[in-house]
Chain A
């Protein structure tokens, strides 16, 4: 029963956030008027599609951050981290597995939320290349796994990481263009936007799902996304080694 409730809640809870983001525009003008302005200034034809895709990616980022990202911390609190570290299993494999399981949960969740949003908010997909959509989706999810892997060790190494991640949530939400185009931001915020993997994930999905983007047009977005993915995975790997080395020196990892 608790799993069924959890599944239902997982799909339903993002909807009010989506609604908030959509209706903040509709409070000012009609959907058509908003669409015209966004199209004219930023080349975005479907404003509800823009918001829904941005919100979905952002929520996935949160899921990965507090799921995979908090996984080692949770193992510590549950007292199972010792049991894990006693096995010969590769530590990165364990983290990546956590990420992939979140990904599997996220995949059907994305489809479910998108379909619901399509029905409720009337998103009109404009897809020219389904292959590009799939690649954009997979690339985004892998990048978010990398975010989770990076934060997993970070949360354990620095006990203040939880507060840091929480305080960065709002800036990341705004800077990565969840509810409005990055180009609408002041220049200094745009700089911040372009060092966030979330920004590229959102751009990749928007361009392929509602802007008829093709694989070729994605290259400029995917290249930095892959670069950030690689950096985060490598950094996560070294931080995990550091976590274990520190634990072996002072035993702190095994105590709450």
Chain B
């Protein structure tokens, strides 16, 4: 992996589960040592200057763990502030400010065990900010959050952290829309390797020559994928179940020309016994970028 993240950038590392996103975060945050090569964070070597790296970064891993659930939110923050060497007279006003920023000030004195998932995630976020580091490593910061909470967290990251406070942020995610919405630059990672890098627009432009057809259908037989692949011009076919109860499946087709492919596609589907509910042509998304690079969907 060769990666360079400029200051004040919100850089996304996009890939499926097991791609190596969390491992990358752990390497850069000194929790793991690289087998080969070097990594520098804010000019410090992660292997030889681990303490300097730790002091200059905030890491947000999220999840249900990583907080002391018998302490209050405020006590958790104070504890970690001390571990980061923030003096108590500076830590207390800083904690008040951060709690207000994420709208947790009313619940700051409740034990973390009483917090909802979204509240814990916001607490994780501000814990990473307690010592005001210039660089943040955010590992799937919206994983497991409900859509509303995810929106709140994303807005906070983009507007407050990057735009207002000018932080340099490395964010890992397997949510396409998150990477597309938030990131200035994205590296697509799979099996521990970076397979493409660029801005979201650049990555999508790379697949502009592909037309994308999305079809929703029921009674889709297993053989349909191989049948559709035989149609001239079709490059990739992927299916995913949208509604198992209703038997609704989404079929994603990458083709050279939607105009030429569509008549053959509908004929093939009807012959196979599938019942088409919806057909639409869309512009390539980051998911399409991923499929064109790896041959599979992000969720596979």
Contact = CB atoms under 8 A, between A and B. Distances in A.
B83 A84 contact: yes
- Residue among A86, A87, A94, A254 having the largest count of chain B Cβ atoms under 10 Å: A86
A88 B32 contact: no
User: Interface centre among A79, A88, A249, A251, by most B CB within 10 Å?
Assistant: A88
B77 to A, nearest CB: 12
Contact of A88 (B59, B64, B67, B85): B85
A233 B63 CA distance: 35
Contacts of A83: 61, 66-67, 80, 127
B281 interface: no
Interface string B59-84: 10101111111000000000010111
Contacts of B66: 79-80, 82-83
Given A79-B66, A80-B68, A87-B80, A249 B59 contact: no
Interface in B18-37: 26, 29-33
Nearest to B59: A86
B55 A86 contact: no
B238 to A, nearest CB: 32
A84 B66 CA distance: 9
Interface in B226-273: none
Interface in A102-117: none
Size category of the binding interface on chain A: 10 to 19
Contacts of A82: 31, 61, 66
B33 A248 contact: yes
B54 A87 contact: yes
Interface residues on B, range: 20 to 34
A88 B30 CA distance: 10
Contacts of A86: 29-31, 54, 59
B51 interface: yes
A254 B139 CA distance: 15
Contacts of B32: 248-249, 251
A244 to B, nearest CB: 9
A105 to B, nearest CB: 15
Given A82-B61, A86-B54, A251 B31 contact: yes
A79 B84 contact: no
A88 B55 contact: yes
Nearest to A254: B31
A80 B51 contact: no
Interface in B84-101: 84-85
Nearest to A75: B68
Nearest to A256: B65
Given A82-B66, A86-B31, A87-B80, 9 more contacts: A79-B66, A86-B29, A88-B52, A89-B83, A248-B32, A248-B33, A251-B31, A251-B32, A254-B26
16 contacts: A79-B63, A79-B64, A79-B66, A82-B61, A85-B31, A86-B30, A86-B31, A86-B59, A88-B51, A88-B55, A88-B84, A88-B85, A248-B31, A249-B33, A251-B31, A254-B31
Closest 7 A/B residue pairs (Cβ): A79-B65, A87-B83, A89-B83, A88-B54, A248-B33, A88-B51, A88-B55
